[in-house]
């Protein structure tokens, strides 16, 4: 069996054929906070990693935390309509 080699450098982001849901760059902080609260509450996203001390807490910003929560929700419900959050989220083919 030949060992698999992994490239050591990448100059551009590479799509793995997947789809992710991230916070829109044009969304306001207030709108992102409302959508984040929904995703982590009623939406049922797994937000443990973005709590203080969690592995994805830093960088500690509403936009980064919202992207994490939106994607958590989207991966559980992978249909285009599950990445909207009141217009604060967009899908991307580049792994964030």
Q: What is the pLDDT of residue 56?
A: 96
Q: What is the pLDDT of residue 83?
A: 95
Q: What is the pLDDT of residue 95?
A: 85
The list of the chain residues with pLDDT below 50 reads 2-15
Q: What is the pLDDT of residue 17?
A: 67
Q: Give whole-number Cα distances, 81 to 4, 12, 47, 63, 92, in Å.
A: 37, 28, 20, 20, 14
Boundaries of every domain in the chain: 28-91
């Amino acid at each position: 069996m030949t060992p698999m080699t992994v490239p050591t450098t990448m100059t551009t982001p590479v799509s793995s054929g997947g789809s992710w849901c991230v916070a829109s760059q044009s969304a306001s902080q207030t709108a992102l906070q409302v959508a984040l609260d929904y995703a982590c509450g009623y939406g049922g996203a797994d937000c443990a990693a973005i709590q203080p001390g969690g592995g994805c807490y830093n960088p500690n910003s509403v936009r980064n935390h919202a992207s994490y929560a939106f994607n958590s929700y989207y991966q559980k419900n992978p249909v285009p309509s599950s990445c909207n959050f009141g217009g604060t989220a967009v899908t991307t083919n580049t792994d964030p």
